[in-house]
Amino acid sequence: MHLGGSWRAIGASAGILACVSMPARAAEPYVVDDASIGDVGECQVISWVSVASNGDFIGTTQPACVVRLGAPVELTASVNAVRTDGEWAGLAGLQIKFILLSLGHLAIALVVSDLADATNKEHLAFVNVPYTIKMSDDMRVNINTGWLFKSESDTSHFTWGGGVEWDFAKSWTLTAEVFGETGTLSEPRMQAGLRYTPMKSVDVDIIYGHNILGEHANWITAGLTVRF
């Protein structure tokens, strides 16, 4: 990476919280988003902590609710603490997600978000289009294409991602994904992990990642989702 100060951390976190959208999925510890939202009135709180072998760190809490604004819309707030190379950045943002098309085995969504550095008043604007292809009742393929604008460097970047979800046993899901963006963080990054759903309202995630902030480091992420 070639960013300075806290914006080095912000630029790095964009790869997770934008292409990343996102985090969901933009509101989940996985990066590649799917083309789905919950039912109107459904809310959830998703939190995760990611620790890297080089000392980098990400901590995130994201409350989200689905409301009807003409059509169902998922609104997600995000509060993040990011450390890269010993420097910290605090970020907060808002994301809007809705379904553009849902045709059986194919769904397309649109995600628009803005992530700001509360200290420096800078921001990242992001648009992502997730595609979900249902291969079978227990396997889904997600593809993301997006655009990211960084106000600090006044640059735009193409973002991309692809992932597979496999419900291989009752209450268990295996997810693998690869993602990246053009420019300073162009090297592809990857994650793979297990999700355990002991009850409909709770998910627990354990994820291994490599290079997810553009650095050559291994990552472990632990996440918890509670729906209500």
Residue-wise pLDDT for 67-124, tens only, equals: 999 999 999 999 999 888 888 888 899 999 999 999 989 999 999 999 887 666 678 8
Which portions of the chain are predicted below pLDDT 70? Answer: 1-27, 118-121, 184-186, 214-215
Domains and CATH numbers, the chain: 6-227 (2.40.160.40)
Name the 3-class secondary structure at 191: strand
CB 155 within 8 A of CB 185: no
Within 8 A by CB and 6+ apart from 162, the residues are 32, 141, 142, 143, 144, 177, 178, 179
CB 132 within 8 A of CB 157: no
Exposed / middle / buried, residue 29 (Cβ in 10 Å: 0-12, 13-18, 19+)? buried
How many Å apart are CA 58 and CA 116, to the nearest integer? Answer: 15
CA distances from 130 to 22, 51, 111 (A): 10, 27, 8
Centre a 10 Å sphere on the Cβ of residue 137 and count the other Cβ atoms it contains: 7
Between CA 2 and CA 36 the distance in angstroms is 35
Asked if residue 212 lies in contact with residue 219, where contact means CB atoms within 8 angstroms, the answer is yes
- What Å distances lie between residue 92 and 46, 59, 82, CA to CA? 15, 12, 11
Show Cβ contacts of residue 196 under 8 Å, excluding neighbours closer than 6 positions. Answer: 171, 172, 203, 204, 205
- Residue 89: what pLDDT? 84
State the amino acid at position 121 in one-letter form: K
Q: Give the span between the Cα atoms of 71 and 67, in whole angstroms.
A: 8
**pLDDT recorded at residue 34:** 95
Q: What is the pTM of this model?
A: 0.88
